[in-house]
Structure formats: C-alpha cells, structure tokens
Amino acid sequence: MDQYRVKPGSKVNLQKWDPDDKGHFEGGKKDGKKALKPLNDRLEELQELLYAENKHKLLVVLQAMDSGGKDGTIRHVFDGVNPQGVKVASFKVPTEEELAHDYLWRVHQHTPGKGEIVIFNRSHYEDVLVVRVKNLAPDKVWRKRYDHINAFEKLLVDEGTTILKFYLHINLDEQKERFQARLDDPHKNWKFSLGDLKDRALWPDYMKAYEEMLSNTSTAYAPWYIVPANRKWYRNLVIGTVLVETLEGLKMRYPEPEDDLSDVVIE
C-alpha cells in the first residue's frame, strides 16, 4: 500500500492520482468484497488485542469531498469490531463554545486513550480546507496551521498514538452519480442538501486546498494516504490493509493475568 502513501516533503498534484485505480487487484467488486472479509476478521482480532493490552492508541483520520465515502468506510472496514474499544468523532460547524477556544481545542478532547481506536469523520483539517475555500479566515491565519497541526500530531505520536490519515479521492463524475443516487432514493434524501451543490461548484478550489494540505502535512510519523475511492470496494481494501499491517507492526501481546491461574479449578 506504500504506493498510496504521500512521501514527506513531496508536492501533490491530485490530477496524477487516479481515483479509479485498483492497483494489482485483478478481481472486481464481488472478489473485492470477498477479500475484505478476512481483513475484517483480522482487524477485529487486532482491535481486541489493542484493547486488552491497553498500551497503544490508534487515530484514524478520514477526509473527503461530500459523498467521498467516509461513512461507508467506517461501516464496511470496521464491520465486526467491538464498539467498546472504537469511537467515531464527527466534526461539523463549530459551536459557539468551540469558537471561543483555539481551533484544536475541540479536537484534542476526542483523541484516543490507551487501548482505543478513534476515527475522525472529518477533522482538524477542516481548518485548512473549508476555512480557506470559504474565506472564513485570512491567508496569514490558516497558513500557520500546517505547522500547528504537524506539531499537534507529533505531540500525540510522542505520547503513544499511532496516526493514519486517509484522503478518499473521487472525481467530479463519481460525485455526480452519488449525489443523483441520493436524490433518487427517498431513504437517502436526508444525506443531500443544497449546500452540497455550492461546495461542488468550488471543486477546483477544494482540490488546490487538498493538494497543499497533503503536501504540507504528510509526515513520517503521521502519513497521508491518497486512497482511490471511485470503487468503494477497492477503497475498503486499501484502508483495511493499511490498518491491519499497521496494527500488526505494533507487535502487541495479550497481558499476563494478575493472578496465578495454574491451579484454578472451577467447580
């Protein structure tokens, strides 16, 4: 999966990243779903181990344009994991209380504790994306935030958090199809708003913002992955594989029991 990892210091041009890519996977959607099942099973085992060992913390950041697949990723990739050790934090328009603090204040309190996986559905990166595109803060303010965010994530890593960041890369045509599907299905109308069309009209501005974000904040300790996301099944395979490989790399072990259990007999 290293082909999707943004190298620190590299300059990202999203036009060179194919959202339809499926790597070397020869199968289609049906085979992709089959391949995801053992990844789900392994992720479930590793999450239980993470929770039991109570040593490591995992933060998963998901960013995408509207309809990019953040909710679907959470639903399919984390299917079967124990909700006791997995949390999802969604970051929407800041509240009045949140606006009274620095922009990272509302984020820090949702970061994972020992033994936890926390998934950010959108994140602190909104403050260099939406804030930039919609001119909610001047250039001299949001540009400083790249360094702030890198330092914030370095703090988390130094304190034992593993960070994985995924940008779900779709194109305009795919977004159009997904928006239309939401309009055509009465049960999905609630997922669509007219504001989505306003953001769609700003697509070039968002792509520029994402390119700079990815270029400035993919680090060795908190890397970005640009995930081809037009094919939902391949998106899930990429993210599931990265998660499993990362957790396996932590070399976790179940803790020893507090008491000597060798002579225990349950009558």
Q: Give a yes or no: residue 156 inside a domain.
A: yes
Residue 262 lies inside a defined structural domain of this protein: no
The answer to whether residue 264 is domain-embedded is: no
Please check whether residue 118 lies inside any domain of the structure.
yes
pLDDT tier for residue 61 given thresholds of 50, 70 and 90: very high
Q: At a CB cut-off of 8 Å and minimum separation 6, what does 223 contact?
A: 5, 6, 8, 163, 164, 165
| Residue 187 belongs to some domain of the structure | yes
Residue 256 lies in a domain: no
Is 235 part of any domain? yes
Q: Which one-letter DSSP state was computed for residue 100?
A: T
Q: What is the CATH number of the domain that holds 198?
A: 3.40.50.300
- pLDDT of 189 higher than 80: yes
Give 145-182 pLDDT, tens digit per residue.
999 999 999 999 999 999 999 999 999 999 999 999 99
| Segment 252-266, tens digit of pLDDT | 999 987 777 777 788
pLDDT of residue 262: 73
Report percent pLDDT > 90 for the chain.
88
Q: Where are the alpha helices (DSSP H) in 185-264?
A: 194-201, 203-217, 232-248
pLDDT at 244 over 90: yes
Does the pLDDT value for residue 203 go beyond 90? yes
255 belongs to a structural domain: no
Question: Residue 119 is encoded by which pair of tokens?
Answer: 């998934």
pLDDT at 267: 79
**Would you list the DSSP string of 102-157?**
-TTHHHHTTS--TT-EEEEES-GGGGGTHHHHTTSS-HHHHTTHHHHHHHHHHHHH
How many domains is the chain built from? Answer: 1
Which residue has tokens 């934090």?
89
Q: How far apart are CA 127 and CA 49, in angstroms?
A: 34
Range of the domain at 145: 2-248
End-to-end CA distance of the chain: 51
- Mean pLDDT over all residues of the chain? 95
At 134, the amino acid letter reads K
The per-residue pLDDT for 45 is 97
